[in-house]
Structure 1
Amino acid sequence: MTLRRHLLVFFVLLQASACIQIPELTPPAPVDGGIEVEPSVSLTWMSPEPDAYTNGPLLIRMDVAGATPEQVELLVDGAPVAQLSPPYELNFETLTLAEGRRVLTARATLGAQVFTSAERGITVDRTRPRMLVQSPASGADQVPVGTAIHVTFSEPLLKGTVTDKSVLTSSYPLNVIMNAELSDDGTSISIVPLTPIPANETMMVVVSRQVTDLAGNSVEPPQQPWTWTVPSYLLVGEPLFAGRIEESNISETFIRVDQDSHPVVAWTQDVNAHVKRWDGERWEYLGAPLSAGTNNLLWKSALQMDVEGRPLLASLEYEGPKDQIQLRRWTGTAWETLGTPLTTTLSQGRIRWMGLSSGARSPPLVAWYEDNSTQAQIVLRQWDGSQWTTTGSPLPMTKGAVNNYLGFDLDALGRPVFSFCELISGMPEVGHVMRWTGSSWADLSSGLAGLPTARAVTADGTVLVGMKALVNGAWRSLVRKWDGSTWIAVGEPLDTIFSGMDRVIASIALDSQQRPVVFASEALSSTDASMRTGQVRRWAGGLWKSVGEPLRAGTGKATWGVPSFVLPADDEPLISWTERIHPAEFTMTSVHVHRLNK
């Protein structure tokens, strides 16, 4: 065919095509290796976070990608509970769900196809966390210094809610700064003091409603406030008494320490003398309670130690018209009576007071105050290991006078030094200090200018007295020493202990460096001087330094009677004092032994 003819045919066909309709073509479905692929839907969790906790509405949010589904459902533990519409968000109320761990899934449908999201676990928790264990226990009043303060809860807490503002500590009127720290597992809070916890003050910890568990439930408040007390002194073991506390009446006690520095305590109750020793874990009786001889009544006892640290017990007994004193020594297994009973040397005489020295410096010495219708005196007898010997001549006393704070100590040579206050009817009360020189009684009372209440003699023979004296027109407690010719004040008067009254230096002891250590007490009530508090003060070479805070009775009790005070080898004070239930219809008393809380 010629070129001219070909061109003619091309133009004819081109004109014909302008009148033909060409249908739109649908793109073919995707193929994968020659296999047609169906449309798909992708479901991705945006909220909640994995392992979320909730106690109410829970934000459900899904990211839906790919083809548009016909519907999206929320399933809980495989059961549909709600529809999710674009933008596929829902504030789902979980109150309809039972508490515990639940599994969420989202399900999308597209035609006959079903698409499911990954599982997302949540925990529904509407129960408030409870305090399970508190340390110290609520109401505790014998909390040692340094006791860890923490509380354990029934479930983990949300870390961000535990702060120094949501866990509050208080001790009115003092401010105690503490840090609150949540444990790694979230189930306990430790409270770390940044300042010392005050002694004898009630501490309180309040875990506020701001503290929540992981689901946002506030901590349930305890049934009673979480309070406790750190006392200045801790009770050694349990209170001591015999029989029933309702029938217990004890007014005086003695405390000493044995060769192992274990405290030994004696008291008289129901005409029996009781002696117990602390073995480090409990109080154990030294033998059975001691009673008087046949037809006698035991009404007073005194405790000391011999040079080997064995307990010595003197007991004052009535024997018909006469009184007698028995001295016993603990052998380790039984009480051994030393010699024959001591009796009054005066015709028709009675024994009104008894004292006992230790046998640490010299053989033990027993002294007693005796009188009859015309005469009064103090008599001394010493046990030389086999019999009683006379030590010095009797110390004459004023017949009819009232003698207060009568007591004695021995110097390094075993010579007694007595001090007492004498009150004669119609005359001012006066103080006396008498010292046995080896041949006669020396009166050291001149210039004393006060009323002695306690005494001690140092290793070099210096006589110390604790006393009440008028200082600038007011009665003050102070210590004076005899320098061989005059009385010299040891430091300033002791300050008030607890804003009380009737301050008295009850006893003086010497520490391992021969420094005087005093136990002073004062009345808490102007109407009952027997209710008292006390404090230990140590001479620091230029001033009296307080050893701990004042010793106070436990909750619902009152200290009363005469305290007993001793320093073990470590110079840490031990105090024995009777306490009574207060207020109470009956006098219910027991012996309390205290050690410094440090």
Structure 2
Amino acid sequence: MERKLPSCHVMRHSLRVAMILLGLQLGACIDIPEVHWVEGTPREEVPDAGVPVVESRLHLSRSVTNGSVDIRVELSGAVPERVELLVDGRVMEMLLPPYTLSLDTQALEEGDHELFVRTALGDQQFLSERRELKVDRTRPVLVSRHPAPGDRWVPVRQVTRLEFSEAIDPATIQEGAARLEVESKVIAGVVEVSVDGKSLTIQPTNPLPKNVSIQVVVDSSLADLAGNSIQTEGGEWSWVVPDFLPLGSSFPTESPQDATPKAIELLVPVSGFPIMAWANPGTGAVFVRQWSGDVWEPLGAPTPITRGASFFDARLDRDGHPVVAWVGETLREVRVWRWTGEEWAPMGGVIEGLPSDLITLSLRTNGKGEWFLCSSTRQEFFVWKWHEARWVQLGLFQATANWSVVAVHMELDDAGNPLVLMEERESFGAPRHHHKWWRTDRWTSISSSLDYLGGWSWGVSIPGRSLVVSHGGVDVIVFKWFAGGWGQLGSVFPERFPGGSLAKAHRFAEDPSGMLVVLLGESEAAGQPDTVHFRKLVNEDWEPLESVLRPSPGVISSASLRFGITPAGRFLVGQVESLEATPTQSSIQVYISND
């Protein structure tokens, strides 16, 4: 019997079904592991559009203004439907592309304002960062000027300072905007502005010229940060630089104990810090002060005397310490004290047992440790030498019979020997002068060649140079002691101010080079107080120096002037002064050359 095979179509259908069944069976038996992401393996993110955002940045052309300010808005992100400028929370302007604006601030009050940009997109609003704008229409005012207009005591290297009510825009401080002028000529200087912008300084390149009017000129081109030009009204701003400046305040003024100086001395040690010493007859005290660089400080306590200090003198010892001498205790004794560097101590015992009514005192040293004292009554003269820690009298001599002593001064010659200069007067007669010169062990009387000269100044010398000055006429003559007689020193010179009072020499001093300088006083016109001026001996010629010290208005100066020169070459002048309103209340003022 013949067997029939299935057709191909049927076979193919059966095979497909079988494979599906086999796959189902296998799937039920195989374990498929889970899929894990390895850290650091980037995932493929699907972009998410999210909520649209508008970012804005507000730019101002300036933060301070007196007019308009340029506005610029920078946008990023989505395109906004609306852009607004807010000022202090209120909409000021609607901005359109390219989102720029020249904002006129005239409608705004002066002061600080807050600016924002607000953008809108649909229901959402976005704010920029805050910007501050100051509206300032007030012109800057010069609130302080130093030196002040008309200031009398301006240092030669003075820095001029201008202070304004608000900061000045540095961009407006051009060359010459603030300057110093003399007779419309600019004085070279450097202008600097302070950190806060409120102050300007003008530093002169060279020392300022003296005795001429110096004017400060400020141009209206200077403006504040808002562009407001400065107010230049306020009067002329000028001053004159003098030849001398006060060295500290006048003294003493703080207590009645030292309020009436009688005799003063000015001493200049090698330190350059001057010393002033004086006696007060009213309180019977001797006072010494030294310049510290800032103030006049007492040098120890007042010397311990009880009453009666009148005639007084002071000098420096070899160590630069002051030694003071005075007549005290009812005018019958002489005391000498020295500064040890720490305290005051007596220099020998009190010289007692003297006749009453001593009228003068001179203290001198040769700078080598030898000291001499001289005093007198109307009839007798006394000289002592410091020897073996005590004062030893060098003889005694008397005035000419029937003559009365008017004045006595002692100087030392080139060898350090004392030379006593005396002025005597007979009743209703003319004065005459003669000298006593110590030579080895005795006094030698010498007739003076100065009698014919008329008025003259003595007691004005420096150690090692015995000097006197004749000023009896319109010419002034300086004489020096030359081992036994007086000889002319340098040329004859005329008065500086013809028509005023006669010139009078007050003191000599040596400058750092050893050249001799004389201080003179004379009035510039009849009836006026004296003006101080100077001459220097150069090649046997007394050359005038430019510097002068004129009297201060309302101040009365005494005739006693003291003179010294610092190691740096600066001149010092000390004098007793009083105010015209209170002429009985005196004080001491020291002046220093304006170098």
TM-score, normalised relative to structure 1:
0.71
CA distance in 2, matches of 1:407, 1:176: 53
Which residue of 2 is the match for residue 533 of structure 1?
Answer: 531
Q: Is 1:212 matched with 2:223?
A: yes
Question: How big is the shift at 1:384?
Answer: 1.4
Structure 1: segments with no counterpart, 5+ residues: 1-42
Question: How big is the shift at 1:453?
Answer: 0.8
Task: Give yes or no for contact 1:73–1:83 (8 Å, CA) kept in 2.
Answer: yes
Which residue of 1 is the match for residue 351 of structure 2?
Answer: 341
CA distance in 2, matches of 1:170, 1:422: 58
Q: Is 1:564 matched with 2:567?
A: no
Q: CA RMSD in A?
A: 4.8
Q: Over residues 137-181 of structure 1, what are the superposed CA-to-partner deviations in whole Å (9 max), with x where a residue is unaligned?
A: 67765544323333344543234644576535456x896624462
The 5 Å alignment of 1:164-563 reads: 166-167=177-178, 169=180, 177-179=187-189, 181-183=191-193, 186-193=197-204, 196-199=207-210, 203-207=214-218, 209-219=220-230, 230-241=241-252, 243-244=254-255, 248-258=259-269, 260-269=271-280, 270=282, 271-290=284-303, 292-293=305-306, 297-319=308-330, 323-331=332-340, 332-336=342-346, 338-344=348-354, 350-358=357-365, 360-361=367-368, 363-371=370-378, 376-391=379-394, 393-394=396-397, 396=399, 403=406, 406-419=408-421, 435-437=437-439, 438-445=442-449, 449-454=453-458, 463-470=466-473, 475-482=474-481, 487-493=487-493, 496=496, 501-511=501-511, 513-523=513-523, 526-527=526-527, 531-545=529-543, 549-552=547-550, 557-563=555-561
Question: How big is the shift at 1:370?
Answer: 0.9
The 1:162/1:138 distance shift into structure 2, 3 A limit, reads: same
Which residue of 1 is the match for residue 3 of structure 2?
Answer: none
The 1:164/1:378 distance shift into structure 2, 3 A limit, reads: farther
CA distance in 2, matches of 1:176, 1:191: 12
Q: Rg larger in 1 or in 2?
A: 2
Task: Give yes or no for contact 1:454–1:508 (8 Å, CA) kept in 2.
Answer: no
The 1:174/1:389 distance shift into structure 2, 3 A limit, reads: farther
Question: How big is the shift at 1:207?
Answer: 3.5
Q: Over residues 364-418 of structure 1, what are the superposed CA-to-partner deviations in whole Å (9 max), with x where a residue is unaligned?
A: 22212312xxxx34322222133332325526368666846x5331124332234
Task: Give yes or no for contact 2:449–2:486 (8 Å, CA) kept in 1.
Answer: no
CA distance in 1, matches of 2:498, 2:191: 36
Question: How big is the shift at 1:228?
Answer: 6.0
Question: How big is the shift at 1:506?
Answer: 0.1
The 1:434/1:247 distance shift into structure 2, 3 A limit, reads: closer
Q: Which one-letter code corresponds to 1:384 in the other structure?
A: H
Which residue of 1 is the match for residue 61 of structure 2?
Answer: 50
Question: How big is the shift at 1:300?
Answer: 3.0
Q: Which one-letter code corresponds to 1:183 in the other structure?
A: V
Which residue of 1 is the match for residue 104 of structure 2?
Answer: 92
Task: Give yes or no for contact 1:466–1:507 (8 Å, CA) kept in 2.
Answer: no
Secondary structure class of the residue paired with 1:440: strand
CA distance in 1, matches of 2:394, 2:302: 31
CA distance in 2, matches of 1:184, 1:304: 48
CA distance in 1, matches of 2:513, 2:454: 27
Task: Give yes or no for contact 2:556–2:583 (8 Å, CA) kept in 1.
Answer: no
The 1:179/1:242 distance shift into structure 2, 3 A limit, reads: closer
CA distance in 2, matches of 1:170, 1:209: 16
Q: Over residues 248-269 of structure 1, what are the superposed CA-to-partner deviations in whole Å (9 max), with x where a residue is unaligned?
A: 3334311224565543321122
Which residue of 2 is the match for residue 123 of structure 1?
Answer: 134
TM-score, normalised relative to structure 2:
0.71
Q: Over residues 103-141 of structure 1, what are the superposed CA-to-partner deviations in whole Å (9 max), with x where a residue is unaligned?
A: 37699x999999999998643123443556655567765
Task: Give yes or no for contact 1:509–1:566 (8 Å, CA) kept in 2.
Answer: yes
Structure 1 stretch displaced more, 588-597 or 213-222:
213-222
CA distance in 2, matches of 1:494, 1:106: 89
Which residue of 2 is the match for residue 590 of structure 1?
Answer: 587
Q: Which one-letter code corresponds to 1:276 in the other structure?
A: R
Task: Give yes or no for contact 1:74–1:83 (8 Å, CA) kept in 2.
Answer: yes
CA distance in 2, matches of 1:480, 1:415: 18
Q: Which one-letter code corresponds to 2:508 in the other structure?
A: I
Task: Give yes or no for contact 1:498–1:550 (8 Å, CA) kept in 2.
Answer: no
The 1:49/1:553 distance shift into structure 2, 3 A limit, reads: farther
Question: How big is the shift at 1:289?
Answer: 2.3
The 1:326/1:543 distance shift into structure 2, 3 A limit, reads: same
The structure, 1 or 2, with the larger RCO (C-alpha pairs under 8 Å, 6+ apart) is 1
CA distance in 2, matches of 1:164, 1:481: 57
Structure 2: segments with no counterpart, 5+ residues: 1-55, 75-79
Structure 1 stretch displaced more, 331-340 or 89-98:
89-98
Q: Which one-letter code corresponds to 1:329 in the other structure?
A: R
Task: Give yes or no for contact 1:251–1:561 (8 Å, CA) kept in 2.
Answer: no
Structure 1 stretch displaced more, 262-271 or 152-161:
152-161
CA distance in 2, matches of 1:250, 1:519: 21
CA distance in 2, matches of 1:538, 1:59: 68
CA distance in 1, matches of 2:477, 2:395: 30
Question: How big is the shift at 1:445?
Answer: 1.6
Q: Which one-letter code corresponds to 1:410 in the other structure?
A: L
Which residue of 1 is the match for residue 12 of structure 2?
Answer: none
CA distance in 2, matches of 1:192, 1:256: 34
Q: Percent identity?
A: 23
Secondary structure class of the residue paired with 1:289: coil
CA distance in 1, matches of 2:57, 2:292: 71
